[in-house]
Amino acid sequence: MYVVVSYDISDDRRRFEAMSRLKAMGYVRVQRSLYIARGGSALAKDTARALMRIIGREDSVVILIIDGQTLSRAIRLGVANLSIPSGPTVV
């Protein structure tokens, strides 16, 4: 299973804080506001709790839990890289 996080955060400071928090939680940056990590509902809930402390009223976050088969069927255009390290990521 994988957790995918997409956000639209208007404030630079909050956006940087969200990015830093996601990377600290083991997420890999796929695009500027799209992150992915191995995990399931527990990681998704932890992520939601962490980002709730950061985002403002005008911000938007979407958290998806998807299986490996769905990820492998993703349509990629350009240089999007959806490969996830198999082990823990050291930041």
**DSSP conformation letters of 8-73:** E--SHHHHHHHHHHHHHTT-EEEETTEEEEE--HHHHHHHHHHHHTT--TT-EEEEEEE-HHHHHT
Taking the whole predicted model, whether its pTM rises above 0.75 is answered as: yes
Which residue bears the tokens 């939680």?
Answer: 25
- Give the SS3 label for residue 52: helix
Instruction: Give the model's pLDDT for residue 89.
Output: 44
pLDDT digits (tens, 9 = 90+) for 7-52: 999 999 999 999 999 999 999 998 889 999 999 999 999 999 999 9
Question: 43 and 37 in contact (C-beta within 8 Å)?
Answer: yes
